[in-house]
Amino acid sequence: MGIFSLVTGLPGPSGFGSSSTAEQVTGGVDASNLTVIITGGASGIGAETARVFALRGAHVIIAARNMEAATDAKQLILKTTPSARVDLLELDLSSLKSVRAFSDKFLSMDLPLNILINNAGVMFCPHQLSEDGTEMQFATNHIGHFQLTNLLLEKMKSTARKTGIEGRIVNLSSVAHIYTYEDGIRFSELNEKYGYSGKKAYGQSKLANILHANELSRRLQEEGANVTVNSVHPGLIMTNLMRHTFFLMRMLKIVTYILWKNVQQGAATTCYAALHPSVKGVTGKYFVDCNEAKPSSLARDETLARRLWDFSEKLVKAKTCDRW
């Protein structure tokens, strides 16, 4: 999918393109037998993703840091879909303690889990560390989702075994993954303020999202689990994610307005990867505008993916061993 398809909205091989909406790509899909967790489902494309899943009949779990916003999102869903099944659970991905609490709470509900959408994130924030002492964008966008996925993975695999329905994990990445540090991931200088760039740190975290999806996909295939993992670039959308650079992005949007999507279009690729029948059995891929695309060479580096996995496991263990 090139710039021409992006600008014109012409569909790709999937039959969908940059102008397709989340409702369009899920048309005719019955999700009434599915349970989905959507992180960051209280606003932006996460809220639209939650709305469309509820519209298609799924049991939606909105995982959100801001519970007031999550409540508002639920009420908006119920206004248009009164029969919607929507539950709210608190989750702060920058806190491993919160990730563990969320996982424990969800598992205690004894629900199946068919789909996990790792959607939430922060963008371009100034240098700061999470409560666990990890650079904030890496902590929120990657480490929080890495640990959340690990804690819920057995539930997803058991659900797939019991129901025979393929489980799907979708990581929201970004085309920004190409704009990262020279070696991709600053393993030895992850938390250093010296040389820090908010934009490159964001790109680093988005690269990590793809590498995580690829390595997890490889591991699940190796063990024969009926769970797929893919990553997506939703497109350029003006949401609260850009609150740290709102003025700059507003100016950029004026200059490049033809490249931007609305929220309904921005949620389309996520919903396509998570629900569309044509994606059944497809794993370890990167989607743009509802079509498979080729990410950067770093994002396709299997050695880097394995190194990131090992690094992430050690980081989580080091941060949590004294707590639980």
What are 5-35's pLDDT values in tens digits?
544 568 999 999 999 999 999 999 999 999 9
The whole-number pLDDT of residue 258 equals 54
The whole-number pLDDT of residue 10 equals 80
- pTM of the predicted structure, to 2 decimals: 0.92
- List, for the chain, all residue ranges whose pLDDT scores fall below the cut of 50: 1, 3-4, 6-7, 241-245, 249, 252-257, 324
The whole-number pLDDT of residue 4 equals 45
The active-site residue out of 179, 181, 194, 196 is 196
* Catalytic annotation present for 196: yes
SS (H, E, C) the chain: CCHHHHHHCCCCCCCCCCCCCHHHHCCCCCCCCCEEEEECCCCHHHHHHHHHHHHCCCEEEEEECCHHHHHHHHHHHHHHCCCCEEEEEECCCCCHHHHHHHHHHHHHCCCCCCEEEECCCCCCCCCCECCCCCEHHHHHHHHHHHHHHHHHHHHHHHHHHHHCCCEEEEEECCHHHHCCECCECCHHHCCCCCCCCHHHHHHHHHHHHHHHHHHHHHHHHHHCCCEEEEEEECCECCCHHHHHHHHHHHHHHHHCHHHECCHHHHCHHHHHHHHCHHHCCCCCCEEECCEEECCCCHHHCHHHHHHHHHHHHHHHHHHHCCCC
The whole-number pLDDT of residue 320 equals 86
The whole-number pLDDT of residue 247 equals 53
The whole-number pLDDT of residue 237 equals 72
The whole-number pLDDT of residue 236 equals 81
Top-level CATH class of 3-320?
Answer: alpha beta
